[in-house]
Structure 1
């Protein structure tokens, strides 16, 4: 039987209430809020009849509500899942392809603040902002010349993944006359050049960069990308910055590189476990600046991400091709399921 009012579920809250305001005003969408604290049986009852699932960000998402095969097996009407931000590693795309479920994200809606945050960490590390702040509190800032930092002007920054965020980081780095290198195996030399960088291989990026900033997705290819070997190839005066995802760098290897002064410092917005415990050893190093996965979470951006996510859901549930479709390969199977479940066939993807 076709579904005329499409059920869209989410847990707890959106980044900004604008999404609930927009979606709650649509006659053809039933927006259902779930709570992690509620009995699982009640949440499964709502999820099992939903056609759409807005998946929380990894920091807030709890088991068993990840977008995986086990969840889809219990949700026969599920047509689409949307990640809260640009990253979608909380959703198993391969399992979605097999099930005829499409995945969408909010790519491009938080690029500016993440790129700004990466530059801010670079500046904070070289100007020793965190260290000197603590030194003043401890009464250890009597000789200010001993607390001198460095310039970033004219230095080399290596960008890992020069997509939406990476290209903006390159643009902002150019304001400091920085030399910009990029490692991105999915782009040509010309494409990388058009984004303001010179394409290099990974060993070259490690060897020549004064700063390395990570802007790639977390995937099978990138998990553990920065381990002991990678850090050993970096300059001893280089800084490592990750505002992308935890586990792209190995935390133990990074700790060893920092404590042995194999590299100069690190700016970390992402951790294996979020939020990290207060006794996490990386948080207590003088050559580390850490933030709790807030790079893309500015007030303006949370509003924009939520607004764009809501608008994308409306388009999707009315049969349009969503603007930020992650897995177009699932569209044929999805279209068949959509027609059967909703009662009409969605638009075709233009070749």
Structure 2
């Protein structure tokens, strides 16, 4: 009997074809609540998961479950500890979206620097003389602060330095200064990089250790002309502090792709701010990247169910199913 793979949220066709070509049966989920997934997973050997939550009850319900493979990078929506306890592999796709998200961050920097959103709005309204009133800024020579120099942060740093002649200052507590120096001028602290930056971009994981790490104290250190970009995880930023900094002119503006509550409610104050560029948590969602994420997640499932060690493991269960 073929192994069965549950896919609660649809993925790109090449990922599903990859599994079918190797003999797996695909079961599309009936919903994305924990209750629906727990009901669907009962007869499944694997889950290919996207953004839905996968709490302990899902793994407890999946008596046959051997692997959950994350379509993307962040695993803060998965109870990795429970999966490990039950002998279930957790894999992810860290090579799939780095360039795509880095390009998104660079696009945000350009949009903020050149006032593209405001200029488009005014031009459509017939305000052509805005060209003599609203001026953008060059990127060459400006300081880009990068917090988190993993696969994405490194690519942002290189694209900004080599493509736009920006001065890049980087901070990553998990890297030695000499490692950071390959991509950026090392900063000794978060405070140092926030103070120096004309543009500040976050590329750090979510979770308990980073929850609310960026708040009022760090925003207060930024230049009034500086811009803040977050395409990492919403919970790393104190959103109320960000809103206050934008309202008070503590910083000039922001580009936000991830939120404290995802999706954000319609009455979120960010929705009415004209100095903020908002996107719907889609920094990685290009056609090409969606295919890579689906394929890499499918690869993780195939490796585990074929008895191999996965290429991109998140955990390493001592007793495996």
1:197-242 CA-to-partner distances (Å, cap 9, x unmatched) read 4243111111111111011111112111111122111111111000
1:91-130 CA-to-partner distances (Å, cap 9, x unmatched) read 0222223222221111121111110110110110010111
TM normalised by structure 1 equals: 0.85
- Is 1:282 the counterpart of 2:282? The answer is no
Please say if residues 199 and 227 of structure 2, whose CA atoms lie closer than 8 Å, have aligned partners that are also in contact. Answer: yes
* Aligned counterpart for 1:50 among listed residues 44, 69, 76: 44
Give the CA deviation at 1:10: 1.1
**Structure 1 unpaired stretches of 5+:** 338-351
* Aligned counterpart for 1:76 among listed residues 51, 54, 63: 63
The 1:199–1:95 alpha-carbon spacing in structure 2 relative to 1, beyond 3 Å, is farther
Within a 5 Å distance, the mapping from 1:109-120 to structure 2 comes to: 109-120=96-107
Please say if residues 193 and 199 of structure 1, whose CA atoms lie closer than 8 Å, have aligned partners that are also in contact. Answer: no
CA distance in 2, matches of 1:40, 1:189: 46
Please say if residues 34 and 58 of structure 2, whose CA atoms lie closer than 8 Å, have aligned partners that are also in contact. Answer: no
* Aligned counterpart for 2:202 among listed residues 208, 211, 214: 214
Root-mean-square deviation (CA, aligned residues, Å) is 2.0
TM normalised by structure 2 equals: 0.93
* Aligned counterpart for 2:145 among listed residues 155, 158, 170: 158
SS in 2 for 1:107: coil
1:20 matched to which residue of 2?
A: 16
1:178 matched to which residue of 2?
A: 166
**4+ runs deviating over 6 angstroms:** none
1:327 matched to which residue of 2?
A: 315
1:144 matched to which residue of 2?
A: 131
The 1:235–1:37 alpha-carbon spacing in structure 2 relative to 1, beyond 3 Å, is closer
The 1:97–1:37 alpha-carbon spacing in structure 2 relative to 1, beyond 3 Å, is closer
**Structure 2 unpaired stretches of 5+:** none
Give the CA deviation at 1:9: 0.8
